[in-house]
Chain A
Amino acid sequence: MGDLPEAIEKLRSQILQDAREKAKQIIEEAKEEAKKLIEQTEADAKDEAQKNIATAKTEAEGTRKRLLSNETKMNRWRTLEEKNRLVNKVLEEARARVKEITETKKYETILEKLIADAMKALEAESYIVKLTERDRKRFEPSKLEQNVKKLLNKNVKLKWSQENIEALGGAVVGVEGKKVWLDNTLDTRFERMQDKLVFQIAKILFSN
């Protein structure tokens, strides 16, 4: 019997030791699990963050491209607008010069050529010519006719219409008896040649 308390004490110690070990194991497992969970959470969050950053970089790059594209378009537009403005200034000045020229003596020769050119284009034998009121009053019809025929190097019939045209200068020429008219006024020539003139002016102004 003297051994019984000792045996009990041993058993008791063993039970408590086992319990402590189990308790230690429970806590260690919990700590280990916690550590893994934290690590996993951090890894997942960082992984998600990386994806988010990649998306952000793509978005930011898109924004940059859009900003640059808008700026480029806006500046291209400014450049074109300025080119247009300068080309139009030349056209305005040219119109003013043309108006001045119609006041000079030299204009008579120009008018004769404009009439002759229209006639050549129409290729007929009899023509009717309409002028501005001012030109009809300024120039002697017989002299004009004579010079036009010289330019054509051809004897054609020419009638001067009593109808006035509204223009800076030039003439509207028709084939007698037919409803065919060729407008060779200076104003119409400006309109007709607009595209060509713009191209020509731009080339002279802006090419190196």
Chain B
Amino acid sequence: MKRDQTLSGVEAVKRIVETEREAESIIEEAREKSREIRIKTEKEKDEVKKKVAGELKRERERIFKDVEDEAKKECQEIRTQTEKQLKTFQDRFLKNKDKAVDAVLSSILGESGRSA
């Protein structure tokens, strides 16, 4: 009876040791999985950064394009206004040219030169 108990004790220790190895293996497996998660996370971080950078690039391009389009429109408006103004100058020139020439003659020749 005593001998059986001793043998059972050895067997017990053996089984415990095996179990602890098994447990260690479970934990090691988890650690390995955890390492894989970290590696995968690094890749995901890069993807996130790339995604945000891509969105940022598109947003920057959109901002510059919008502003450029707006500026082009405003520049066109300025040019249109200028054309209008130049046309007004031309009209006024045709209307007032003789009066202006008379004024010059008057200044250069005196009043007598005006109606010559």
Which residues of A does B touch, CB under 8 Å? 1, 4-5, 8, 11-12, 15-16, 18-20, 22-24, 26-27, 29-31, 33-34, 37-38, 41-42, 45-46, 48-49, 52-53, 56-57, 59-61, 63-64, 67-68, 71-72, 75, 78-79, 82-83, 86, 89-91, 93-94, 97-98, 101, 104, 106-107, 109-110, 113-114, 117, 186, 189-190, 193, 196-197, 200-201, 204-206
Interface of B is mostly: helix
Which residues of B does A touch, CB under 8 Å? 1, 4-5, 8-9, 12, 15-16, 19-20, 22-24, 26-27, 29-31, 33-34, 37-38, 40-41, 44-45, 48-49, 52-53, 55-56, 59-60, 63-64, 66-68, 70-71, 74-75, 78-79, 81-82, 85-86, 89-90, 92-93, 96-97, 99-101, 103-105, 107-110, 112-113, 116
5 more A-B residue pairs beyond the given contacts A56-B64, A68-B75, A205-B100, with a C-beta to C-beta distance below 8 A: A49-B56, A53-B56, A79-B86, A91-B104, A97-B105
Closest chain-A Cβ to B91's Cβ sits at a distance in Å of 10
| Bound Cα distance A49, B57 (Å) | 9
| Bound Cα distance A118, B26 (Å) | 120
Closest chain-B Cβ to A85's Cβ sits at a distance in Å of 9
Q: Please name all residues of chain B whose beta carbon is closer than 8 Å to the beta carbon of A205 when the two chains form the complex.
A: 89, 92-93, 96-97, 100
Among B30, B31, B45, B70, residue most surrounded by chain A Cβ atoms (within 10 Å)? B30
- Say whether, besides A1-B4, A16-B19, A109-B112, A38 and B48 are in contact (CB < 8 Å): yes
Closest chain-B Cβ to A39's Cβ sits at a distance in Å of 9
Q: Is A12 a contact of B16 with CB atoms below 8 Å?
A: yes
